[in-house]
Structure 1
Amino acid sequence: MAETANPPRPQDEVVDIARDLIRIDTTNTGDNATAKGERAAAEYVAEKLAEVGLEPKIYESAPGRASVACRYPGADSTRGALLLHGHLDVVPAEPDEWTVHPFSGEIKDGYLFGRGAVDMKDFDAMLLALVRDWKRRGKVPPRDLVLLFTADEEAGSDYGARFMVEEHPEVFEGVTEAVGEVGGFSVTLPNDLRVYVVQTAEKGLDWLRLRATGRPGHGSMLHDDNAVTRLTRAVANIGQHRFEVEMTPTVRQFLESVSELTGIEFDPNNPDATVAKLGPVARLIGATLRNTANPTRLNAGYKTNVIPSTADAVIDCRSLPGRNDELEAILRELAGDGIDFEYEIRQPGYETSFDGVLVDAMAEAIRQADPGARTVPYMLSGGTDAKAFATLGIRCFGFAPLKLPADLDFTALFHGIDERVPLDGLKFGVDVMDRFITQS
């Protein structure tokens, strides 16, 4: 085990580790032929864990598509183990659109810049810095910790979390709860009160391909069986449809809590009106009031004067937990006859309750680090690896703590240009995770 005479404090090491991870380009294009860097990142993580005496193992689902896991034995192995997870891949970034190179790990103005700075190499670094510190000091967690750093989260998790769940379930032996992204960050309410949102739910991921078929022919002729016309009518109907409000327990509890904290009236019959008064927080919550379906891709034809026999579209659908069948029925009605449905990805949503020892530990850790702040549950409109872990009966939470400036549009940084994380936020996160795991 390699050691230094004066090991760094985890609040300092977290910045160095996050920079190192950002500098490993782990762009996930969704294509095994062009995705890169995950193996190198997994090897880096494994080395950091092995240096302090842990025993990591790398799992490769396809050439280069690597995840790494290890178990940190706790004081009471009879308790359910806690899974702490983060993903190593990132979405693509165009350097010409950024003010710094997206894989430079540049620090300026108190921020660490780079693709993955908030999604989610910041949390990967927090976990690594913290467990390295604990192992150096001989600190034993209250229960077993399972550390997992995955590939492929950004393209549906098939080569990462889902591969681990399906092919290596032994990694999750005894795990009852999991903590990962996307939650734990601070949100400043209109009355300047800071709350930390804990993800207890996330919408389902349904990437749907529509295909229309028709009779091919010459573009100069009258034609009443045009696949493009049929498809575009279906796409327009879906894209313009506004789904009915359906409040889940998580969303209702969020709005009730915010109403209590701010004095903003919560009308259960018109939650859109309440959300509209929340300022920047509205974007975080608005899409969780209902199902959504947004057309994102179209493909048809090969020559201007040839009417094609088929036309395709892809719809990014996000269903509320337990509502994916309901969503499909509505989409079929909107699409009309002559449209075939095929799912590229279909992953149901997930929801758990905001209670229990783990939730109490989160709230207490936040209160200790930021007196006067509160924790509230929320639903993520996107998706995470939690969907895969939930299939094993694991309760999943998003809690990657960051204390953020009130004027930072944090949610816009996910997959955004000039993605960045405050250095103070990283250090705050390590401190909160230390308190949280100790009390968990």
Structure 2
Amino acid sequence: MSTGPAINWDTYFDEAVELLGQFIRIDTSNPPGNEILACNFLGAILHHEGIDYDLYDAGNRRVSLRAVLKGDGSRRPFMLLNHTDVVPVQQEFWDEEPFSGHIKDGYIWGRGTLDMKGLGIAQLMTFITLKRMAVPLARDVVFFAQADEEAGSEFGMRFIEREFPETLDAEYVINEGGGGTTEVFGVERPVYSIAVAEKGPLWLRLVAEGRPGHGSVPHEDNALDRLVRAMFRIQEWERPLTVAPVLEEYFGRLNRAGVYKGAATVDALKAAAEKDPRIRALLSNTISATTASSGIKHNVIPARAEATLDIRLLPGVKPEDFEAELAAVINDPKVSLERVHVGWSDTNPHDTELFRVMEEVIHDHVEDAVVVPGMTVGFTDSSVLRNRGMISYGFSGGLTTPEIARGVHGHNERVSLESFRLNCQMVWELTRRMCCA
């Protein structure tokens, strides 16, 4: 395979860092999203490069952007998928301004550096460089920046699927959800997980109803008491561990590399799951209590109490079956379950051309890396595409420590300059190998 056009990586990376800093300074916290601001930013760059683009407006400034570099049509399209919204911040807990893009101690700081404006800029740089160099393409290369991923994609990918399904055609897609870590199971060795599956979100609202009254006269029909009892039963509910087929390959590869010492079985993984919540999340249907509200006054027994649950289901688990189990655990007819959001997706195979090329690219840049097919415990826009029959992998060339990775949706989110440069290089090389004529 040819090495492709020569790139001055120092110049390329300087531009990428500048663009990422500008992108981070655009506050697209969701809610409310305001992704039109991101699309204006991306659109101006594309216009300057002489690239046409389309906007998809779901209303209320929730806008997505799509651009295409045409290939010769001999192969189906390749999509660079990203989202432009970010989760909100609690600024008082940050050491640096969260929307500054400030560079300090070898890191770019700011909300979205990891999730996922950093990868979005790496994709954008690949896209505009293909155009600048007039690289002959066997495939259309699609750059698609989506709105609303962080809140369930109703005004982004799900809106696009309903209203503009023809824009989603692709043979292969790379999106968020994968990447490299410097340490797994306490073993310091680079491990790159390529996400071929993800857990399905089931967001529920628990509503307890009862009889209101004066706080000085307790009774057995207090809605808040009912909610507390229901939440206690949920917290005490022990759900079985399961090793999904994709995780058998995941743990098997780690075992052969000497990173994980046990077998890919529930018995072997049980101890690790008890110690590590992320391992437990890979092996079970999880429930996180996220909000609760009740009452109007200190001395008034409330008639209604509510709580929200963020449930993530393993591939193959039907939401309606899990809801029935949950209702049986709660065992109270005056506590109802209301769906807020639900999603699921098929699992992609990992014996594909794209996976093989990803392995090659990773090993060319990080020779001793272990490459594994993985499953994300969060959901992404890839779920919609997988259910449409497309291969959509979570892939990032970045390599981060576990400590830095915890900045996703947390405080002090940042990415090292070294990791971001590696990400830019790998996204470029992967796209070039998959798409060049």
Tell me the TM-score normalised to structure 1 length.
Answer: 0.91
How far is the alpha carbon of 1:150 from its aligned partner?
1.0
Separation of aligned partners in 1, 2:27 and 2:89 = 10
2:417 is equivalent to residue 415 of structure 1: no
1:55 aligns to what?
Answer: 52
1:182 to 166, 177, 180: 177
1:375 to 346, 365, 371: 371
Separation of aligned partners in 2, 1:225 and 1:82 = 58
The number of aligned residues is 423
**Secondary structure, counterpart of 1:351 in structure 2:** coil
1:310 to 286, 300, 304: 304
In the superposition, relative to structure 1, how do residues 24 and 243 fare at CA in structure 2: closer, same or farther (>3 Å)?
Answer: same
**Secondary structure, counterpart of 1:178 in structure 2:** strand
1:166 aligns to what?
Answer: 162
Q: Deviations over 1:66-107 (max 9, x none)?
A: 1100112124x2422122111111111122211110011100
Letter in 1 for 2:75: R
Separation of aligned partners in 2, 1:268 and 1:36 = 42
Separation of aligned partners in 1, 2:253 and 2:393 = 18
2:236 aligns to what?
Answer: 240
2:198 aligns to what?
Answer: 202
How far is the alpha carbon of 1:36 from its aligned partner?
4.5
Separation of aligned partners in 2, 1:66 and 1:332 = 38
How far is the alpha carbon of 1:39 from its aligned partner?
0.9
Separation of aligned partners in 1, 2:273 and 2:295 = 42
In the superposition, relative to structure 1, how do residues 230 and 394 fare at CA in structure 2: closer, same or farther (>3 Å)?
Answer: same
1:252 to 238, 248, 251: 248
1:19 aligns to what?
Answer: 21
Identity %: 32
1:32 aligns to what?
Answer: none
Is the 1:39–1:65 contact (alpha carbons within 8 Å) kept by the matching residues of 2?
yes
2:332 is equivalent to residue 337 of structure 1: yes
Alignment of 1:339-418 (within 5 A): 339-404=335-400, 407-418=401-412
2:279 aligns to what?
Answer: 285
2:71 aligns to what?
Answer: 74
Q: Deviations over 1:143-197 (max 9, x none)?
A: 1122110111111111111111111112123x12221001122342444321211
Separation of aligned partners in 2, 1:201 and 1:7 = 33
**Secondary structure, counterpart of 1:334 in structure 2:** helix
2:30 is equivalent to residue 28 of structure 1: yes
2:87 is equivalent to residue 91 of structure 1: yes
Separation of aligned partners in 2, 1:410 and 1:251 = 24
Separation of aligned partners in 1, 2:76 and 2:16 = 27
2:315 aligns to what?
Answer: 321
Letter in 2 for 1:69: R
Is the 1:297–1:313 contact (alpha carbons within 8 Å) kept by the matching residues of 2?
yes
Q: Deviations over 1:366-405 (max 9, x none)?
A: 111111222101111111111222332222210021023x
Separation of aligned partners in 2, 1:99 and 1:293 = 31
Is the 1:208–1:342 contact (alpha carbons within 8 Å) kept by the matching residues of 2?
yes
Separation of aligned partners in 2, 1:121 and 1:55 = 21
Separation of aligned partners in 2, 1:257 and 1:275 = 17
Is the 1:113–1:418 contact (alpha carbons within 8 Å) kept by the matching residues of 2?
yes
1:434 aligns to what?
Answer: 428
Q: Deviations over 1:36-81 (max 9, x none)?
A: 5411111111121222222111111112111100112124x24221
Letter in 2 for 1:27: S
**Secondary structure, counterpart of 2:188 in structure 1:** coil
In the superposition, relative to structure 1, how do residues 24 and 153 fare at CA in structure 2: closer, same or farther (>3 Å)?
Answer: same
How far is the alpha carbon of 1:365 from its aligned partner?
0.7
In the superposition, relative to structure 1, how do residues 68 and 84 fare at CA in structure 2: closer, same or farther (>3 Å)?
Answer: same
2:3 aligns to what?
Answer: none
Separation of aligned partners in 2, 1:232 and 1:212 = 9
Alignment of 1:120-131 (within 5 A): 120-131=116-127
In the superposition, relative to structure 1, how do residues 389 and 267 fare at CA in structure 2: closer, same or farther (>3 Å)?
Answer: closer
In the superposition, relative to structure 1, how do residues 438 and 308 fare at CA in structure 2: closer, same or farther (>3 Å)?
Answer: same
Q: Deviations over 1:244-270 (max 9, x none)?
A: 011111122111111111161225142
How far is the alpha carbon of 1:304 from its aligned partner?
2.4
2:293 to 287, 292, 299: 299
Is the 1:117–1:419 contact (alpha carbons within 8 Å) kept by the matching residues of 2?
yes
How far is the alpha carbon of 1:224 from its aligned partner?
2.1
Tell me the TM-score normalised to structure 2 length.
Answer: 0.92
Separation of aligned partners in 2, 1:98 and 1:363 = 36
1:3 aligns to what?
Answer: none
Is the 1:284–1:411 contact (alpha carbons within 8 Å) kept by the matching residues of 2?
no
**Secondary structure, counterpart of 1:185 in structure 2:** strand
**Secondary structure, counterpart of 1:139 in structure 2:** coil
**Secondary structure, counterpart of 1:345 in structure 2:** strand
Is the 2:182–2:188 contact (alpha carbons within 8 Å) kept by the matching residues of 1?
no
Separation of aligned partners in 2, 1:283 and 1:140 = 46
Q: Deviations over 1:180-239 (max 9, x none)?
A: 001122342444321211111111111101111222222222422222222211111112
Separation of aligned partners in 1, 2:56 and 2:12 = 27
Is the 1:256–1:266 contact (alpha carbons within 8 Å) kept by the matching residues of 2?
yes
How far is the alpha carbon of 1:108 from its aligned partner?
0.8
2:110 aligns to what?
Answer: 114
Letter in 2 for 1:177: Y
Separation of aligned partners in 2, 1:408 and 1:340 = 39
